[in-house]
Structure 1
Amino acid sequence: MATNITWHPNLTYSERSELRKQNGATVWLTGLSASGKSTIACALEQLLLKEGVSAYRLDGDNIRFGLNKDLGFSEKDRNENIRRISEVSRLFADSCTISITSFISPYRVDRDNARALHKDSNLKFIEVFVDVPLEVAEQRDPKGLYKRAREGVIKEFTGISAPYEAPETPEIHVDTDKQTVEECAEQIYLYLKKESII
């Protein structure tokens, strides 16, 4: 735990929201690899930006090129990966930006901790379960990860040799084997409007 540090207050969230004419929130997409999280996140980000809403996408792979490049895929490292993303997404939401995260985030407790972090800051957290049957995800397998996991090359792969704990009560549930990318993004967009987040 860091010592000799001081929090420097600036604008309140309300003041920032008034100045930016926008609220902040985190849209947290969770699901198996190849479920469509990143594709939906990209579509949602573009939809929001076209509507003049400030939004920024935090993607699982992209974050590991920088902020989390020191982390592996053990359970401990996955926990730390999600803890860091929770903090970053909270900062984006506090800046009155719509933070869109697309991470497998396989453990329910990690997602619950992310939600609690936002709740403690009076920020909206919208969990989106990007649902797809495992067999469909394996058929898609754009990176060849499932194949390598089945061959034992990749250890601790979510859905094969490591668990995925599906959300029990997500705010939004999309089925990517039944819905198009555009339909999924639109469903999330309409939820944000209905809840007066945008």
Structure 2
Amino acid sequence: MSDGPCRPGGTVLLTGLPSSGKTTIATATRTRVAEAGYAVEVLDGDDVRGRLWPELGLTPDDRKQNLGRITTLALMLARHGVLVLVAAIAPYAADRELMRVRHEDAGLDFAEVHVATALSACEQRDVKGLYGRRARGELTQLTGVDAVYEEPLLPHLRMDTAAETVDESTDRVLDLLLRRELIAAPPLRNGRP
């Protein structure tokens, strides 16, 4: 836990297609928030699944369980004043809504960020090689290709990482954190606000 400013914890879900930029933005935001002295953690959906519950696959039920477990972990951290940045595909609207309700029930802030990068840009990035594997027939049920992604209708923030830099996207998330009073002042970037 940080010795920095004491603020209430909360969770920001960054949801979007594979390779849309969720983890990149979450990680950049964590760096800036941590440098300002806040307790902050990134929970990446694939990383958490692989490390904590590798028995879960990519079926709709497994995806629901993964986000449900991540929500439980985020709530545990947020109750102790940690700002939690969840980077997860989270393809189903009902599961994201349950995440919001569980935070509200616990008296904790929750915000949804839709990383709405176009499928074509995600395919070009193909950070984990998923789109290439899908094209070669080695993978099925890829979200946004042959598995559903239900786009958020009213996210707190929508961004297209193909149309802005990492710094610009990070600044927009930081502005959201300020507006929701999860941080008190904008963290510095390269020694300036």
Give the TM-score taking structure 1 as reference length. 0.87
Q: In the alignment, what sits opposite 1:118?
A: 103
Percent identity of paired positions between Structure 1 and Structure 2: 37
**Contact 2:45/2:70 (CA < 8 Å) preserved in 1?**
no
**Contact 1:26/1:99 (CA < 8 Å) preserved in 2?**
yes
Q: 1:158 aligns with which of 117, 125, 143?
A: 143
Once the two structures are superposed, residues 52-75 of structure 1 have per-residue CA deviations (whole angstroms, 9 ceiling, x without a partner) of 111001012211222221101111
Q: 2:123 aligns with which of 133, 138, 155?
A: 138
The alignment status of 1:77 with 2:36, answered yes or no, reads no
**Contact 1:28/1:126 (CA < 8 Å) preserved in 2?**
yes
Distance 1:142 1:196 in 2: 33
Q: 1:67 aligns with which of 52, 77, 86?
A: 52
The alignment status of 1:190 with 2:175, answered yes or no, reads yes
Distance 2:127 2:51 in 1: 22
Compare CA radii of gyration and give the structure with the larger one: 1
Runs of 4+ in 1 over 2 A off after TM superposition: none
Q: Where do 5+ consecutive residues of structure 1 fail to align?
A: 1-19
Return the letter of the residue paired with 2:45: G
- 3-state DSSP class of the match of 2:51? coil
- 3-state DSSP class of the match of 1:57? strand
The total of aligned residue pairs comes to 180
Q: In the alignment, what sits opposite 1:10?
A: none
Return the letter of the residue paired with 2:169: C
**Contact 2:103/2:110 (CA < 8 Å) preserved in 1?**
yes
**Contact 1:82/1:105 (CA < 8 Å) preserved in 2?**
yes
Distance 1:129 1:29 in 2: 6
Of residues 167-176 and 64-73 in structure 1, the stretch that sits farther from structure 2 once superposed is 64-73
The alignment status of 1:167 with 2:152, answered yes or no, reads yes
**Contact 1:150/1:160 (CA < 8 Å) preserved in 2?**
no
